[in-house]
Structure 1
Amino acid sequence: MLPEGDTDPEGLMCTAYQNTDGSRVMVIINYSDTDRISQIAGNDN
């Protein structure tokens, strides 16, 4: 449990959307001081 809110200052926040034209968007915010993502993979299915 985080005493001052619901944001982990050391982790990642990720959300994804599908636009009205069918394209997909993923947003990842890194709250850490170091790189956390080494690879992201997906497909068009």
Structure 2
Amino acid sequence: NYFQHTPYLDDFNAENGTHVAKVSAIHVEPMGLYGGKQTSLDAIKK
């Protein structure tokens, strides 16, 4: 599952007491927030 990156796997292991290991590294796409004409993050609707 592509969405299961290293931070997800670390959280999963911590929450479930498991020791699942990654097979290889994957790249994580950069993400951006586009709030139109908003001037702060607080002004963006959830």
TM-score, scaled to structure 2: 0.23
Give the number of the structure whose residues are more often strand, by fraction: 1
Which structure exhibits the higher relative contact order, with contacts defined as CA atoms closer than 8 Å and separated by 6 or more residues?
A: 1
Query: Which has a greater percent of helix?
Result: 2
TM norm structure 1: 0.23
Rg: which structure is higher? 2
